[in-house]
Amino acid sequence: MPRSPSRKAAPQPLSQLRIIGGRWRGRKLSFAPVEGLRPTGDRLRETLFNWLQFHLADARCLDLFAGSGALGLEALSRGAAEVDFVELNRSAAQTLREQLRVLQADNGRVHSLSAAAFLAQSRTRYDVVFVDPPFAGDLWQQTLAALEGHLAEGALVYVEAPRDKPVAMPPGWQIAKEKRAGQVCMRLFTC
């Protein structure tokens, strides 16, 4: 019986997200189909960016665990001065670089390394920080502690975690907003 030629697995199609507000409103962007990557949904993003609407103009933002880049791209669309995207997965980081190029967003920079490594080497202070690590890991507390020295006066830190995951605030932080939706808890801290 003749052997059939070996077949390579077909590449997975890119997934899509939609920018929900600002100058790129309605624009659909692709992101890499990476295991465990779950972009913040439209409804949660809408709530978050309603919370942030008076804080984004000319803000310096940090999107840790960027994944699809949904949060940082939304911030750029709504007037942030610049966004540093930190994503360890090379495929996701490359797709995010391509999206920034397509959008002609030269005020977005992608850093392909872990959040811990980025924070250890960066000296920048941010006005708004997005912390949305993979839910399978337990990276919240160490990441929040590592933000010390990276926050501008009056900074806001958004944390997305599983509904039942306790997240302790570092000293001096206060919860400005909190919402539970499905299995997710959204928190916005003032620092």
Tokens 């809408």: give the residue.
46
Tokens 């399978």: give the residue.
136
In a domain, 166, yes or no: yes
Parent domain of 130: 15-190
How many domains does the chain divide into?
A: 1
* pLDDT, tens only, 132-178: 887 767 788 889 999 999 999 999 999 998 888 888 888 889 999 99
In angstroms, the CA 128 to CA 49 distance is 11
- Coil/strand/helix, residue 40: coil
Two tokens, residue 92: 């996701």
Burial 3-23 (b: 16+ CB within 10 A, else e): eeeeeeeeeeeeeebebbebe
In a domain, 154, yes or no: yes
In a domain, 50, yes or no: yes
In a domain, 109, yes or no: yes
pTM above 0.85, yes or no: yes
Judge contact between 186 and 160, C-beta under 8 A.
yes
Two tokens, residue 21: 């507000």
Task: Quote the pLDDT of residue 36.
Answer: 59
Task: Quote the pLDDT of residue 35.
Answer: 66
Within 13 A of 141's CA, how many CA atoms are on the CB side?
A: 5
In angstroms, the CA 69 to CA 8 distance is 29
In a domain, 2, yes or no: no
In a domain, 111, yes or no: yes
Task: Quote the pLDDT of residue 4.
Answer: 46
In angstroms, the CA 1 to CA 51 distance is 66
In a domain, 5, yes or no: no
**pLDDT digits (tens), the chain, 191 positions:** 444 444 444 455 567 778 998 998 988 877 666 665 666 677 888 999 999 999 999 999 999 999 889 999 999 999 999 999 999 999 899 999 999 999 999 999 999 999 999 999 999 999 999 998 877 677 888 899 999 999 999 999 999 988 888 888 888 899 999 999 888 899 999 98
- Count of CB atoms within 10 A of residue 25's CB? 12
- DSSP strand pairing (60-64 vs 126-131): parallel
In sequence order, the β-bridge partners of residue 40 are none
In a domain, 60, yes or no: yes
Evaluate the CA torsion angle 18, 21, 25, 26 in order and state its sign: positive
In angstroms, the CA 125 to CA 106 distance is 19
CATH number at residue 27: 3.40.50.150
In angstroms, the CA 72 to CA 91 distance is 17
